[in-house]
Amino acid sequence: MSPAISVTVNGATHTVAAGVSVRQALDGAGGRDVIAARVNGKLVDMSRPLEHDATVEPIAADSPAGIEVIRHSTAHLMAQAVQSLFPGTQVTIGPTIEDGFFYDFAPARPFTVEDLPRIEQKMRELAKADLKVERIEVARDEAIETFERMGEHYKVEILENIPEERVSIYKQGDWMDLCRGPHVPSTRYIRAFKLTSVAGAYWRGDEHNAMLSRIYGTSFATKEALEEHLQLIELARTRDHRKLGREMGLFLFDPISPGSPFFLPKGAIIYGALVDYMRRLYRRYGFDEVITPQVFKNELWHTSGHWENFRENMFLTNDREGEAGDEVDAGSDGWRKGYAFKPMNCPGHTFVYRAEKRSYRDLPLRIADFGRLHRAERSGALHGLTRVRTMAQDDAHVFCAPEQVAEEIDLNLRMVRDVYTALGFERLESRVATMPEKHLGTAETWRANEAVLGAALDRNGLPWEENPGEGAFYGPKIEIYVPDALKRKWQLATIQLDYNMPERFDLTYTTSAGSEARPVMIHRAILGSLERFIGVLIEHTGGVLPMWLAPEQVRVLSLSEKVEDYAAEVAALIKAEGWRASADLRNEKLGFKVREAELAKVPFMVVVGEREAAAREVSLRLLRGAKGQTLGLAALLALLKAEPVPA
């Protein structure tokens, strides 16, 4: 007879026999759409046996964790369908990603979008077949033999790099895959899915390895949720900042400098307006702006820790005397001679700090820098403005005494709220990114600093969660995520706490007692990369920017040649008042001119015909959908001046 164990579900504890499944222990708790559970905090399958006392939390299909399980299981369903339709295709990895999943395959020929409907249809058949999903635990060597017999060479390579002696395999029908799980109980729980695209992908992300075929898809608990998501995807296509950037004449890209945007005059206006806004905030919040070099000797990056922890993301170069960028320096630790373009401003700012002897009276020292940064992103990762190789950040560093840290973090969190409220983002989400595998300093210092950041978010009324292992190598950070109009979350602002760089650069200040102490360094960006932020803002607004950011704020449209002089006069008057205005005097129909102004996202369209010219008035049309109205010139200027501009 099996011994009894205690199981707690929804706060109620009952006794069951050891070895019963999670499903039996739940006994219907949570409803019929429970597809997995957390046992003592760990996500597991419904069939997992319980051997010890446990707290069991049911996971519903439509919960965030449930959707994650469904998407993982849908990836398996897709792989089963692919191997059924295309025998000989090898499977590699199939993880979930934000809003969906993908699976990488090694087929006889690359997959195309034309293959997707056929694969989807086979997936529907397999889902309706209600195939039981079973977890089997086997010895790693046995799994290697099994997948070798199946011709799954990529799976064998994965298994050979797994240290555990036993591994789990999931089976559904006659198909199986190596996987940690968990998964849905059977394929009938996979009800609402869509394959969205195909792409090439190198095995293990290395361009020296074989090219695989990657199929992307998404899956939800209900058809209604899937349809809403697909509508948002379609809306995202119409709002793609690359498309709108071309239509609005904001920026361009050219293979002559991959991943490096050319901002055209209208795009430069947006860029400059954001910089000007941040500079106004700097004056209010006590930041001084500096300008630092673009290129530094590699010894700087060795001291800062970037050489050991960030070198693969840096552009390296030689000096004029021909020092090879890959020549090992005489130093025993192996950093290399030559130079690198800066990927970050922080090491250079330590030289600003130590340009003079500092006292406690000088702290906090807040310095900001819009310097250009360069990062060697892989070509496959580049994506318009949101992933580039050259950028500027609204970057700043605060050097302060340890007792000033809390107040300085609070100040920067207030700046975050000011900026995102002014720019029309209604909600912010926060995370504390914790110690990564590659890091400077001790684990004890990291844990203490992570607690400081969490306490700051609590103090400022900002709910947060942990982002394990995603801190910068020199310290933990607060990450601010901004949900946009399409329900996507963008990580933009960061506040990072760093005790390591002041140590490595031997920064000090004189205390009130006359002794020397080490300052703390706070790294901070509010918008983050200006390029990335502009891309996000364009997609969030659909290009309909706030009036103060619109590259062209007013366009005067003439109805005929007879009023060209008056139209030009109105445009000149508006420009003289400081607004960005132009006059469209072409011999075209009004509808054509209006459509072009709408495509350019001009907020104010001022129409003038013979009647308006005679009365010294205008007819106003607004991009945001308000009906036209007739105004005198003074009233028009007053309306423009009433448009809000952030302080």
8 Å CB contact between 264 and 249: yes
Q: Catalytic pick from 80, 83, 172, 393?
A: 393
* 229 is annotated as an active-site residue: no
Q: Is 254 a catalytic residue?
A: no
Question: How open is the CA angle 559-565-568, to the nearest 5 degrees?
Answer: 85
Residue 397 a catalytic site member: yes
Q: Is 179 known to be catalytic?
A: no
Per the listing, tokens 């394959």 go with: 195
Catalytic residue among 375, 524, 540, 593: 375
Q: Which amino acid is at 289?
A: E
What is the C-alpha to C-alpha distance for residues 281 and 417, in angstroms, rounded to an integer? Answer: 12
Radius of gyration of the CA atoms of the chain, in A:
30
d(CA 440, CA 66): 36
Q: Which of 477, 532, 555, 601 is catalytic?
A: 477
Q: Give 482's strand partners.
A: 490
Q: Which one of the listed residues 366, 523, 524, 540 is annotated catalytic?
A: 523
Spell out the residues 6+ positions from residue 580 whose beta carbon is closer than 8 angstroms to its own: 269, 550, 551, 552, 553, 554
375 part of the active site: yes
Q: Is 374 a catalytic residue?
A: no
- Active-site residue among 99, 394, 395, 584? 395
Indicate which residue of 71, 80, 306, 346 is catalytic: 346
Q: Taking Cα atoms as reference points, which of 78, 34, 80 lies closest to residue 219? A: 78
3-state DSSP of 206-275: CCCCCEEEEEEEEEECCHHHHHHHHHHHHHHHHHCHHHHHHHHCCEECCCCCCCCCEECHHHHHHHHHHH
Name every residue whose Cβ is closer than 8 Å to that of residue 572 and which is 6 or more positions away in sequence. Answer: none
Say which of 48, 72, 397, 431 is annotated catalytic. Answer: 397
Spatial CA neighbour of 60 closest among 47, 71, 69, 50: 69
- The Cα 307–Cα 302 span in angstroms is 5
Name the amino acid, one letter, at 406: A
Residue 355: other Cβ atoms inside 10 A: 9
State the Cα–Cα distance between residues 325 and 332, nearest whole angstrom: 17
Q: Is residue 183 among the annotated active site residues?
A: no
Task: Tell me if residue 106 falls in helix, strand or coil.
Answer: strand
Sign of CA dihedral 543, 544, 546, 552: positive
Classify residue 161 by its DSSP letter.
Answer: T
**Which residues are catalytic, by number?**
346, 375, 393, 395, 397, 477, 523
